[in-house]
Each structure stands twice: as structure tokens, then as C-alpha cells.
Amino acid sequence: MTEAEASALPCRQRGGRAGPCACCGRDVALSFHHLIPKKMHRRTRFKKMYSKQALDAGIYVCARCHRGIHKRYDEMTLAKRFNSLEQLLQDDALVRHFQWVAKQKQVTR
């Protein structure tokens, strides 16, 4: 199993946790990012193209990476063009953001 496959987990296995971010690699608190945004799940096109399991798949990312992903692209673009970790990591704008995040101090509470 590749690192990308291990990072793509079904929705029911999510939940707040700490560990390495799938995008920047920092060991911080993580949130679950649906690879196909939940807003798209009810659309007929996505219901026909993807299984329920595929719609529920996602990755754990830190808050800064998560905000960066959603700031740069809308839900439809994420669902069509960036519905895997590999695709997210191949986008120049996102890679620059992830590299910037990796250099930031980790806030401890």
C-alpha cells in the first residue's frame, strides 16, 4: 500500500487526530478532507460516477493545508480535477502552499 492509499481513508474512520499531514508532512492536529467535497455528493453526475465508498474517501490534513486547498479551488474544481492526493500534490499552486506551510512553526497548546 502506498502512502497515498494509506492516507485516503473512508469517512467513517475519520475524526480528530494528530499525526503527519498528508500534504505538508507536519506532525500536528489534523482534520478530514473529503477528496470529493460533500457538497457534490448529492449531484447525479457524481452519484453515477463514484461509489459511496469513493465519495466518502478523504485524507487527513492540517488546518493550514485544508484552508489553502479550499481557498484556491471551489468544490466543483476539487471534485473534477483534484479528487486524489496525487492530483493535489501535482498542482503547482498547492505545492507552493504546502511547502510554505511545512516551514511554519507548529503551535502547541
**Cβ proximity of 87 and 51 under 8 Å:** no
**Cβ proximity of 101 and 25 under 8 Å:** no
Percent of the chain exceeding pLDDT 70 equals 83
For the segment 45-71, what is each residue's pLDDT rounded down to a tens digit?
888 888 888 888 999 999 999 999 999
Distance of alpha carbon 48 from alpha carbon 43, whole angstroms: 9
Domain boundaries, the chain: 3-101
pLDDT at residue 90 in the model = 96
- How far is residue 44 CA from its own chain's centroid? 22
For the segment 11-31, what is each residue's pLDDT rounded down to a tens digit?
444 456 888 999 999 999 999
Does this model's pTM top 0.85? My answer is no
Sign (positive or negative) of CA dihedral 49, 69, 72, 93: negative
